[in-house]
Amino acid sequence: MNNTKTKLKEVYIPFLIVSIGTILFYNLFRWTLDIKLGILPLKENLLNFWIPFALPWIPILIWLRRRIRILNVRGKRDNGYFGYQFAMAAAIAVPIIISQNYIEKSSFNLNEISSILKVKELKKEKYFKIASFDIDQNSSLPYVTARTSGEIMII
């Protein structure tokens, strides 16, 4: 009982604090610099997946690496500890990745506009609903495509 209580106190509670702090930090960082100020010139793929996947390793290696050794992986030297670190990083990264989609969708409103020309006026907005639009028949071009499957059928 005492061993479980020690592990809970020394590993699990600091993990919860570090994970909640990391999730809040990245979401606040992304919302402020990218969505509200627009000064983060990075691609969406990088902001939505790769940074949230790599970011949890920093606080885990700084604050939790020594604490993981309390778990005493028997029969393993250092490989078992890496497994715990990877599980912790995944447990932090998944909520960050999921929350990025929510932050993007909830930060922008659906704007109703009367013509496509109004989009230029609302540069910082992302979602639009156009009441009606006209197609310019003179500037339309036909699009023809052909594709072969690569199989030859002999009868």
State which residues form the domain around 18. 2-108
**Using the 8-state DSSP alphabet, how is residue 109 labeled?**
P
- Any domain includes 86: yes
Counting the structural domains of the chain, the total is 1
Cα dihedral 62/52/45/100 (nearest 10): -150
In the prediction, which pLDDT does 88 show?
A: 95
In the prediction, which pLDDT does 95 show?
A: 97
In the prediction, which pLDDT does 52 show?
A: 96
Span 73-82, mean pLDDT?
67
CA atoms of 141 and 131, how far apart (whole Å): 24
Residues in the chain: 155
Q: Is the pLDDT of residue 1 over 60?
A: no
- Any domain includes 154: no
- Any domain includes 89: yes
- Any domain includes 124: no
**Could you tell me the two tokens for 114?**
């009367």
In the prediction, which pLDDT does 71 show?
A: 78
In the prediction, which pLDDT does 73 show?
A: 66
Residue ranges of the alpha helices (H) in the chain?
Answer: 2-7, 13-30, 44-45, 51-54, 57-59, 65-68, 79-107
pLDDT digits (tens, 9 = 90+) for 13-31: 999 999 999 999 999 999 9
- Any domain includes 98: yes
In the prediction, which pLDDT does 75 show?
A: 61
In the prediction, which pLDDT does 85 show?
A: 92
Q: Which amino acid is located at 11 in the chain?
A: V
For the ranges 19-23, 55-59, 131-135, the lowest mean pLDDT is seen at 131-135
Give 5's pLDDT tier (boundaries 50, 70, 90).
Answer: confident
